[in-house]
Amino acid sequence: MPEGSSYDLVVIGAGPAGEKGAARAAYFGKRVAIVDPNPRAGGIAVTTAGIPTKTLREGAIYLSGLGQRVAQFAHPSAQDPWRLLMARKVEVSEFMTKAVERNLVRHGIERIRGRARLLPGRRVEVETSTGERVVLQAEVVLLASGSRPGLVPGVPRDDPDVHDSDDILGIERAPASLLVLGGGPVGCEYASIFAALGTRVIALSGRRTLLPALDVEMARAFAEAFNGMGIRVLTDTHDVRVERERGALHARLADGRSFEVEKILVAAGRRPCTEGLGLAEAGVETDAAGWVRVDERFATTVPGVFAAGDVIGPPALASVGMEQARVAISHAFGFEEATTATDRLWPTYVFAIPEVAWVGLTEEAARASGIDYETGRSSFGSNAKARISGFADGLIKLVFRANDKVVLGVHIVGELASELVHIGQCVMREGGTITRFVETTFAVPTRSEAYKYAAYDGLMRLERRRRASTPDRADLSGGSDSAEARGGVRTRPSP
C-alpha cells in the first residue's frame, strides 16, 4: 500500500454493509480496499451485536428448556449457563469472523487496518496500526463505519454494574436482577435472554409500547408474552436517575418509583461512528443526530461518496445495510439492478423471545393513509406445530386492501417470526393478494400454515362487511365481533 495508491473503491468500515459493498465492486473486477481499525473483520455484527446476541438467545432457550419447560431438555452442565453461553458465543463469532475474512480474500479485496479520514476529492487518509499515514485515491468511497451504543442522561457509565450492549457480554455471570433501559430491539432481546436464564428483569420504555415501530396490536401481544416470562414491562417512563445507596444500585423514575437491581443495561438507541472521519471538512452532510444524509441511491452530498448501513441511521439491521450497500455500489458504477431505496420491501425483525418480524404497513399506517383496508389473524395458540414446540405465544396478522385483497403488511409475533416473514414478503413483492395464501398448500403441521388461516379470517371479515352493507340479507356469521378481533382463538371451518 504505497503512498498515493489508487483504487476504484475505498470502503470505510468492515461490517456487513462494508463487506457487501466491497464484494459487489470486486465481483465486477474493480480494485477495492477496505479500511477498518479493528483487528478482525465483520464489525459489531460478529463481535457484540447480531451473531453474539442470536447465539445467546438460542443457547438460553436450550439451556433453560424454555418452551417445553421440562428438566430433560436442559443441558447437563447448565449449573453455570452464562459460562456455557459465552463459550458458545466465542465459538460462533470466531467462525463468522473467519468467514468474512475469507470472503474478502476470495474477492481480492485489500484490507487495511487503520483509522480513516475522508479528504476532499475522494481521497482517504489512513493512520495505520503502526502509526504510518498514507493517502488513498478513490473513484468511489463508501462510508460504512457503523454505530455504537447511545447514552442516557442521568445514568452513570462509570459504574461497574451499568452496562451497554457491548460490554454486557463481559460480565462473569447472569445477574439475579436486571433493569433494562430501552424498549427497542436490543433492549427486548437482552431482556428476554436474561429472563430465560432466571434473572428477574424489569424493562423500561419511554414510549407507550415496547418496539414502538410495531403494529400496536402486535406490540400488545408481544408485551403479553414478556409478562408470561415474568418480565415486568413499564412504558411511558421518563427521567431515569441511577445512583448508589449504601452500596446498592438504585434507579428512580420521575413518578417516584424506585428499583434496586444488581445490574442495569442501557439499550436506549445508538449513535453513528463518525468522529474523526472528517465528514464536515469533506462536505458530507449529516442530520441533527449525526446520521449521514443520503438520497434514494444512498449517495451523500459529495459526488462519488456513498453511505450505507448503521451510519445512515435506522433501521440499523445487517440485512438492510448489506442491501443498501449493494444498491449504492450498483449506482456508483452503473451495474445492473441499480434499484433505489423506495423499491425495496425490507423486513424488520427482532430476535427476542418470542421473535417479532414485520414488513409493509401497520394497521395504524394504513388507517392514517386513508386506505380502505381489512385485517386477518391467526393465533399460534391454535397452531399444531406451535403447540408441539411449546412456543404457542403470538399470531400472524395480515393487513390488506379491502377492494382487491392486495397484501399491504405482514406482522408476526412468535417463534421463527424472522423466518416466516419472508413468505409474506415474497407475496407482497409480487403484488399478491391474501388468496395466494389460501391457494398455497402448506405442510402440516407447520407454523407457516398460519398464513392460510389468517387469510381465511380476512376473507370472513370482508364477507361480514359485505353482508352488513346489504340490509336485506341476514348476517349468518354471528356478528362482527369475532373471537379473533377480541384477541381470542376459535376453531372455524375452512372455506
Q: Residue 376's pLDDT is what?
A: 98
Would you say residue 488 lies in a domain? no
- Specify whether 335 is located in the same domain as 385: no
For cell 388507517, the residue is: 367
Mean per-residue pLDDT, 159-168? 92
Mean per-residue pLDDT, 102-111? 95
Residue 487 pLDDT exceeds 50 = no
- Specify whether 37 is located in the same domain as 115: yes
Q: For the segment 308-350, what is each residue's pLDDT rounded down to a tens digit? A: 999 999 988 999 999 999 999 999 999 876 666 656 789 999 9
- Specify whether 137 is located in the same domain as 257: no
Residue 488 pLDDT exceeds 50 = no
Q: Residue 245's pLDDT is what?
A: 87
- Specify whether 384 is located in the same domain as 298: no
Mean per-residue pLDDT, 262-273? 93
Q: Residue 339's pLDDT is what?
A: 64
- Specify whether 82 is located in the same domain as 167: no
For cell 394497521, the residue is: 363
Would you say residue 494 lies in a domain? no
Q: Residue 68's pLDDT is what?
A: 54
Q: Residue 387's pLDDT is what?
A: 93
- Specify whether 362 is located in the same domain as 321: no
- Of residues 130 and 467, the one with the higher pLDDT is 467
* Dist CA 325 CA 79 (whole Å): 44
Would you say residue 453 lies in a domain? yes
Residue 290 pLDDT exceeds 70 = yes
Mean per-residue pLDDT, 266-289? 93
- Specify whether 375 is located in the same domain as 434: yes
280: number of Cβ within 10 Å: 11
SS3 429: helix
Q: Residue 484's pLDDT is what?
A: 42
Strand pairing partners for 414? none
Would you say residue 307 lies in a domain? yes
Would you say residue 348 lies in a domain? no
* Dist CA 13 CA 36 (whole Å): 5
* Backbone Cα Rg of the chain: 25
For cell 414502538, the residue is: 212
**Which of 268, 290, 306 is the C-terminal boundary of a domain?**
268
What CATH number corresponds to the domain at position 122? 3.50.50.60
**Which of 323, 343, 363 is the C-terminal boundary of a domain?**
343
Which residue from 416, 415, 414, 434 is spatially nearest to 424, judged by alpha carbons? 434
What CATH number corresponds to the domain at position 365? 3.30.390.30
- Specify whether 379 is located in the same domain as 464: yes
Segments forming the whole domain that contains residue 26? 6-149+271-343
**Which of 268, 291, 306 is the C-terminal boundary of a domain?**
268
How many domains, the chain?
A: 3
Would you say residue 477 lies in a domain? no
* Dist CA 406 CA 345 (whole Å): 15
Residue 66 pLDDT exceeds 80 = no
* Dist CA 39 CA 112 (whole Å): 10
Q: Which residues lie below 8 Å from residue 212, measured CB to CB, with a gap of 6+?
A: 183, 184, 205, 219
Give 415's pLDDT tier (boundaries 50, 70, 90): very high
Which residue from 164, 223, 214, 175 is spatially nearest to 197, judged by alpha carbons? 175
* Dist CA 162 CA 242 (whole Å): 9
Least confident residue range of 15-24, 30-39, 306-315, 329-338: 329-338
Residue 356 pLDDT exceeds 90 = yes
- Specify whether 285 is located in the same domain as 381: no
- Specify whether 308 is located in the same domain as 380: no
Which residue from 206, 204, 154, 151 is spatially nearest to 181, judged by alpha carbons? 204
Would you say residue 156 lies in a domain? no
Which residue from 444, 435, 436 is spatially nearest to 383, judged by alpha carbons? 444
- Specify whether 236 is located in the same domain as 285: no
SS3 419: helix
Q: Which residues lie below 8 Å from residue 379, measured CB to CB, with a gap of 6+?
A: 394, 395, 450, 484, 488, 489
Mean per-residue pLDDT, 194-219? 95
Residue 115 pLDDT exceeds 80 = yes
* Dist CA 9 CA 329 (whole Å): 9
Q: Residue 131's pLDDT is what?
A: 85
Which 8-state DSSP code applies to residue 170?
G
Helix residue spans in 107-212 (DSSP H): 185-196
Give 489's pLDDT tier (boundaries 50, 70, 90): very low
Residue 71 pLDDT exceeds 50 = no
* Dist CA 123 CA 444 (whole Å): 58
Helix residue spans in 28-123 (DSSP H): 44-47, 50-64, 81-106
Mean per-residue pLDDT, 423-449? 97
**303 exposed, middle or buried (CB, 10 Å; 0-12, 13-18, 19+)?**
exposed
Torsion of CA 4, 10, 13, 19, to 10 degrees: -140
- Residue-level length of the chain: 495
- Specify whether 277 is located in the same domain as 129: yes
Give me the percent of the chain exceeding a pLDDT of 90.
72
Would you say residue 478 lies in a domain? no
* Dist CA 338 CA 328 (whole Å): 8
Q: For the segment 173-193, what is each residue's pLDDT rounded down to a tens digit? A: 999 999 999 999 999 999 999
Mean per-residue pLDDT, 209-230? 95
Which three cell numbers mark 225? 408474552
Residue type, 29: G
* Dist CA 52 CA 59 (whole Å): 11
Residue 46 pLDDT exceeds 60 = yes
Mean per-residue pLDDT, 89-117? 94
Q: Residue 52's pLDDT is what?
A: 85
Give 49's pLDDT tier (boundaries 50, 70, 90): confident
Mean per-residue pLDDT, 369-394? 95
Give 39's pLDDT tier (boundaries 50, 70, 90): confident
Distance of CA 177 to the CA centre of its chain: 25
The continuous run of DSSP H or E covering 148 comes out as: strand 147-149
Residue 495 pLDDT exceeds 80 = no
Task: Please provide the average confidence, as pLDDT, over all residues in the chain.
Answer: 89
